[in-house]
Structure 1
Amino acid sequence: MTRAHSAGPASTLFLGVDAGNSKTAALVSTATGQVVGAGRSACGDIYGAPTPEAAVAEVLAAVREALAQAGADLAVVKAAAFRLAGIDWPEDRTYWDQALTRHCPGTLTRRTILNDGYAAIRCGDPGGVGISVTGGTAAAIAARGPDGKLWDMGWWSQHAMGATGLANQAFRAVLLAELELGPPTALTEALLTHYGKPTVAALNHWLTRREGHATGQERNSCARVVTAVAAAGDPVAVEIIRAQGARFAQYAGVAARRTGLTRADRPVSVVLAGSVLMAEDSPVAEALLAELPAHVPGAVPLRGSLPPVAGALLDALAEGGVPLHEREVADAVSARVTATMPPREFLAT
């Protein structure tokens, strides 16, 4: 891994953590926003890891790597923001709170623990007001209103989105086409080629058999195939993309209504994040943006230059007393974070 720009050991540091299913990332910085350490590990979602304890171990591994790179330890962390996939219910937050207390006794006492959907909000508005729409392995949507009210999608979503949603809908379309219950689609040949299967029956068997079936990562690996087939004009794939974009926009509208953002007399920052929405020329992002104004009046969409873990770090800075609500301070800190981030490859999935 390429080292972040180091400023040497610091007496006061701030920690931001963004944990998802594909990876966990951690950043530490000084109060000016200079990133002095970065760490990365595997799945930090207590719902997605083999066990909740395994998720905790991955999050702590990323934190320790970031601190080691900074030449520091937990004792110098003034404030920490944990933005973790799988913080969906109060007991999830309690689990993490107890785990951090147990593993980090006497440290990280100034910390917040929220769903990973909140991580990207400050990547748009450093003041922390707005909506984040993340489409990665799955989807995470969260909002913070002008009065500080929070809402995140969690288990309220009734539609699979992100790479999982694209894959599931593509498999469904191919199987229905094979049964002559749906229209023929170029997705059939594309998926058979992608997975190296000779027939749809062989693909179905591999996806669903009791032993040796496809892993979640293998299933989701076809998401880029789906977007490519849609870009080539296949009507079935185009409809899958359109429907996914519309769903993202609809849930963003729920987030806006639940946090008072539709009543605010101001533009609404909507930050897009995650591999599905941040891919170059993402058709899902295009479909989302086409639908967004109907659901979030005043939406100002931003495809952030900063990754969600940087937003988590900005949360930690704000919660630790750095006045990011002041525009001049926010601009300076955000610029420093941007300039000292680890290379883009460090966060690639």
Structure 2
Amino acid sequence: MTREQTAHPASALYLGVDAGNSKTAALVSTASGEVVGAGRSGCGDIYGAPTPEVAVSEVLAAVRAALAQAGAEFRTVRSVAFRLAGVDWPEDQGYWDTALTRHCPGVLTRRSILNDGYAAIRCGDARGVGISVTGGTSGAIAARGPGGELWDMGWWGQYGMGATGLANEAFRAVFLAELGLGRPTALTEALLAHYGKPTVAALNHWLTRREARASGRERTSCARVVAAVAAAGDPAAVEIVRAQGRHLAQYAGVAARRTGLAQAGGPVSVVLSGSVLMAEGSPVAEALFAELPEHIPAAVLHRGSLPPVAGALLDALAEGGVALADPVVADAVLEKVTGSLPPREFLAT
């Protein structure tokens, strides 16, 4: 038996959880990185779910599903990394810690709880150093510096980002154009067609009325439409996507400075994830690429290599003692994780 096998017995499992507003995903692996179980459920954001307890239930549902597929129990998990949207303040972390202790007494005790923005960092650098920029339902930016310093955007974000930001800015442009307070835009016709509404007034009514108004998912469903109209050259839509790319780059620069990455010298890993940034030909991603060198000159971009939940799993492995700082170990683990992930559609938003 090798020293590695002694330190990480074959029966030990590792669990990574990535919870957002559109979905929660969980992966279970062996110490080698082989994924042996996957689970998926709904919104795991304590700010975005109907109640915080609903978010807890969704996260645990994904965990139970992943363990069930692995044919395992909670007690076999050596280390777990929870990367959860809505962990923005110390009391949010405390809420989850209390809830997990209550629901899972005596198990999952070796755990870390961080904002979901941290999930993807190891998808760029297995050591866990770098910046993650996520554009999904909303935006998330997080960084870990060379000395372990942490910073995430949380409620410091003062601009609409992700699909929510694209949708809200598009509605604003359409409503202002309707009132003669903004320039005419092709977004008007595109959004009316997308939502099947006859007039701008009908669209506004549906989005804001007291009863039976549009759900959050329905509101953000137009994000791809906004991107398409921007790609076609509509000035209002182009400005919306450029502004979002600019803001994401600015906050990534803040993350680099706050964690010492900007001062350390050498390349800075920047991992992109989320449906808005990962869409083929994404104009938001193009805008981010154009702006990023001004804020992080040494940025090295990683896009689409692994899903964020795989990064959370890598965190769990590292926190459980797997030596991902060793390039040889890291390469072997990454190969195993990559080759054993569930089908892409399982993790799609």
Q: Which TM bucket (shorter chain)?
A: over 0.9
Q: Does residue 304 of structure 2 align to residue 340 of structure 1?
A: no
Name stretches of at least 5 consecutive residues in structure 2 with no aligned partner: 1-8
The CA RMSD measured in Å over matched residues stands at 0.9
Residue 240 of structure 2 aligns to a residue whose secondary structure is helix
1:267 aligns with 267
1:86 matched to 2:80: no
Post-superposition offset of 1:109: 1.1
1:75-224 alignment, distance < 5 Å:
75-224=75-224
Are 2:134 and 2:140, in contact at CA under 8 Å, matched by a contact in 1?
Answer: yes
**Counterpart position of 2:61:** 61
Aligned equivalent of 2:3: none
User: Aligned to 1:272, what secondary structure does the other structure show?
Assistant: strand
Q: What is the match of residue 5 of structure 2?
A: none
Would you say the 8 A contact 1:133–1:271 is kept in 2? yes
Does the 8 A contact of 1:207 with 1:213 survive in 2?
Answer: yes
The Cα shift of 1:305 comes to 1.5
Aligned to 1:288: 288
| SS class of match (2:330) | helix
TM superposition shift of 1:304: 2.9
Instruction: Give, in angstroms, the shift of residue 10 of structure 1.
Output: 5.5
Q: Deviation digits for residues 252-309 of structure 1, max 9, x if unmatched?
A: 0110110011001110000000000001111100100110010112000110320000
Q: Give SS of 2:167's match.
A: helix
Distance in 1 between the 2:331 and 2:304 partners? 14
Identity of aligned residues (%): 80
Aligned equivalents of 1:327 and 1:238: distance in 2?
42
TM value normalised by structure 2:
0.97
Alignment partners' CA distance in 2, 1:94 and 1:88 = 11
Q: What pairs with 1:244-323 in structure 2 (closer than 5 Å)? A: 244-323=244-323
2:16 corresponding residue in structure 1: 16
For residue 238 of structure 1, what is the aligned residue in structure 2?
Answer: 238
The equivalent of 1:28 in structure 2 is 28
Return the letter of the residue paired with 1:70. Answer: A
8 Å CA contact retained: 1:231, 1:283: yes
In structure 1, what is the Cα distance between the partners aligned to 2:57 and 2:266? 42
Cα distance in 1 for partners of 2:223, 2:304 equals: 21
The unaligned stretches of length 5 or more in structure 1 are: 1-8
1:305-328 Cα distance to aligned partner (Å, 9 max, x none): 200000000000000000000111
Q: Any conservation in 2 of the 1:27–1:39 contact (CA below 8 Å)?
A: yes
State the AA in 1 paired with 2:172: R
Asked if 2 retains the 8 angstrom alpha-carbon contact of 1:10 and 1:72, the reply is no
SS of 1:262's partner is helix
Amino acid at match of 1:68: A
Match of 1:4 in 2: none
Q: Is the 8 A contact 1:124 1:304 kept in 2?
A: no
Which amino acid in the other structure matches residue 109 of structure 1? T
Task: Give the Cα separation in 1 of the matches to 2:295 and 2:249.
Answer: 6
For residues 156 and 201 of structure 2, the distance between their equivalents in structure 1, rounded to whole angstroms, comes to 34
Aligned to 1:6: none
Work out whether residues 10 and 31 of structure 2, in 8 Å CA contact, stay in contact via their aligned partners in 1. Answer: no
The aligned amino acid for 1:105 is: P
Aligned residues: 341
Distance 1:254 1:237 in 2: 26
Bigger drift between 166-175 and 295-304 goes to 295-304
The letter for the 2-side match of 1:96 is W
Structure 1: distance between partners of 2:47 and 2:238: 31
Query: d(CA) in 2 for partners of 1:199 and 1:50?
Result: 31
Using the size of structure 1 for normalisation, the TM-score is 0.97
d(CA) in 2 for partners of 1:305, 1:259: 24
Contact 2:273 2:303 in 1 (8 A): yes
